[in-house]
Structure 1
């Protein structure tokens, strides 16, 4: 233990009139370990430091600025056990000053071998954070690995590019991260290559870029060793073929194919068959689809399409009843942080706006259509954007001066056009 920490501990003990036995009692650390730490016979672990801090009644991290020195051994190399625990704790609790100091020391290491080892340890911490759902905290660590790993072909770099892409895929940074991840796919282990192509396919599905969906889904089908990935490759091909004006029989055939993989995909095939039939104009299947999906956890997926089908059939009252009956599910979509549910909510808003217009609530319906158009344009969902424009044009005779002004403003708003670069990615 360094002299600064020892002095601080003794000062607080003196203020409280404590001896080592008292510190052991209130910290829960055995007195023999307290003595060994104070006499430099045992390293001060982060766990012990936090226990002593709490015993003194101080906030967590009070001594962290002094503890940074204990993350290094006598040769001034980072001690893996202490530094890994410390970096992780600083990352999740926002001790940025201490975290920056440790990382800067890691990066200033002159030995390429040791610097590589340090960054490999940092990668392990980033992966731990990512696995625990602490993605925001993991991202800066992945970026450090990308920028500073001596061997830029290392799999840690390639996987870090994938993680960065995954976390930014539907933001303005998405196009740039996609370009990089495609460059590094070949440096990834096989399982990560599959995972990367799967998520690229899923991203293009979210953006409704169907030619890209089909391309990467076929690529995934060829490389997939994981049964689940193989199934999704076929599912995405079915979605893409549906949208790319292929025949109904061709789409139903591929649905039949993945329906034989396992029980999960067999169940998905039932729902996707209904969706395909509705998309091909077989609107009389709307009630069957609703009966199948209404008690499922993924009901939110079907609500927009069923509403649209009812509107096209002229069953406006049934569409309104469905909305009222499933208000809770719709509110959950509206407030969800899940990207897919957010997109489904936009699909619902579109369907509801058409329903309002058909019910002659033109001002409210057109206002909703303009808002949906703005949102899908900003995230690069061009197919939906065009559909909104067609619908606005259909009801154009009911545009007020204010709505027309909002419509023109929406068309000229190019703040987020960067997202549309997905359409040009390869």
Structure 2
């Protein structure tokens, strides 16, 4: 029968092999002789800190004995959270995710450990160790799936936040799962969760869902805003707060509803919502942060007023809108991207020559591909969608004007971005545009196009199964 080795036997073998006494090894490891002796004889369990010292003293890589530690001190004996907690944090530091999975799998049968594991997950999330935190949240959610608890809802909210990424199909699945748990969150988290869901659905162009989330968010934010100015609650300063000012969620709901109307072609109604979030005289706060947000919404409203008139066919406002873009242009290329996207949509829809505009903002346009990563859901989701859309509109503009080199350059970039986002609509639109102008593509561009199509096909085959037929 094969015996599983232990850390104790491995240490004992090392001491004999190197001819080291307990005192000598203890000196190397920074541990006193008594502790080393107790570990070797099996009379004392060890902490992860002691294990790390032993591992380093033996000249082995960090975490070398972690699998044995799990076997010897977690699975084989009754779980002890005073030992497990620091071990989980250390595994997260070293990115030992499989070790975390083993530990959590070994103890999750006992619901008594759930609150502590949840606290650890929250701490890991705060440290930015998202992959490690995700393992804990997922296991807690699975264990408590039949519980109607706020903790279960928070786990699903955290899972949603961590999982949101480039793949829009996956984002849609994550959003639909979170929706079922929003009402179980506390009132404040509900508002933030609804805003996050609205932004994800906005990037997916699920306008009915954007409208639904926006209206729910406004209703809940209005209730909380009213309660905050209830005399009986006036001095309750330590209550949980939303990520941004409460009035901003009410105004942002109007902005979202305006975007829904704009997408549906109802520009008149979009303007009414735009006027609503421009007029924030009802806001009671007067601090500098409030003034900042009010000015921000007013600025957005000014720009979107031009946009709705422009997209409705009033091309006379284009010079004013371009001037507005120039005046409000900042280092924040996220906003510059969305503004110039509006220009390109109008240019293609109404056949407007915007060569001068593109030349004026050439530096901004060239920097769009270098937009920084962000943990904000809007920036993380909506901006990559706009970048792919902008590439398509630029390609459409140049190809229809016979500027084929630039047109195909933007088209291929848009196809790559659409593939990253797993956005079939954008990808198919790009394919159609390429095929319409394929006779004007040089051989190198045709080869690049076919290589991308083959790459996407092979990726889908790998993801969805064999291409040799059903079995």
TM class, shorter-chain normalised?
0.7 to 0.9
1:306 maps to which of 340, 356, 368:
340
Q: Distance in 2 between matches of 1:187 and 1:49?
A: 42
Q: Distance in 1 between matches of 2:334 and 2:323?
A: 16
Structure 1 residue 206, shift from structure 2 partner = 1.4
Distance 1:259 1:213, change over 3 A: farther
Tell me the residue number matched to 2:53: 51
Tell me the residue number matched to 1:250: 272
Let me know the Cα RMSD of the aligned residues. Answer: 4.3
Q: Does 1:181 align with 2:203?
A: no
Q: Distance in 1 between matches of 2:258 and 2:200?
A: 16
Task: Give the TM-score taking structure 2 as reference length.
Answer: 0.70
Structure 1 residue 371, shift from structure 2 partner = 6.5
Task: Note the alpha carbon deviations across 1:58-81, whole angstroms, 9 max, x for none.
Answer: 11122222211454499x431112
Q: Distance in 2 between matches of 1:276 and 1:31?
A: 77
Q: Distance in 1 between matches of 2:32 and 2:366?
A: 54
1:154 maps to which of 149, 157, 163:
149
Tell me the residue number matched to 1:420: none
Q: Distance in 2 between matches of 1:387 and 1:289?
A: 31
Distance 1:346 1:181, change over 3 A: same
3-state DSSP of counterpart to 1:280: helix
Q: Distance in 2 between matches of 1:80 and 1:371?
A: 51
1:221 maps to which of 199, 218, 224:
218
Tell me the residue number matched to 1:85: 86
Q: Distance in 1 between matches of 2:148 and 2:355?
A: 58
Q: Does 1:277 align with 2:302?
A: no
> Which stretch has the larger CA shift, 189-198 or 150-159?
150-159
Task: Note the alpha carbon deviations across 1:75-96, whole angstroms, 9 max, x for none.
Answer: x431112112223433553545
Q: Does 1:293 align with 2:335?
A: no
Distance 1:94 1:389, change over 3 A: closer
Tell me if the contact between 2:175 and 2:200 (Cα under 8 Å) persists in the aligned partners.
Answer: no
Task: Note the alpha carbon deviations across 1:127-175, whole angstroms, 9 max, x for none.
Answer: 3333333333333333322222374323332222223333445543334
Q: Distance in 1 between matches of 2:373 and 2:171?
A: 23
Task: Note the alpha carbon deviations across 1:395-424, whole angstroms, 9 max, x for none.
Answer: 95x5529899979x98x99x69xxxxxxxx
Task: Give the TM-score taking structure 1 as reference length.
Answer: 0.76
> Which stretch has the larger CA shift, 18-27 or 212-221?
18-27
How many correspondences in the alignment? Answer: 402
Tell me the residue number matched to 1:210: 207
Tell me if the contact between 2:211 and 2:260 (Cα under 8 Å) persists in the aligned partners.
Answer: yes
Tell me the residue number matched to 2:24: 22
Tell me if the contact between 2:38 and 2:44 (Cα under 8 Å) persists in the aligned partners.
Answer: yes
Tell me the residue number matched to 1:102: 103
Structure 1 residue 41, shift from structure 2 partner = 7.3
Tell me the residue number matched to 2:260: 240
Name structure 1 gaps, 5 residues minimum: 110-114, 417-426
Q: Does 1:349 align with 2:350?
A: no
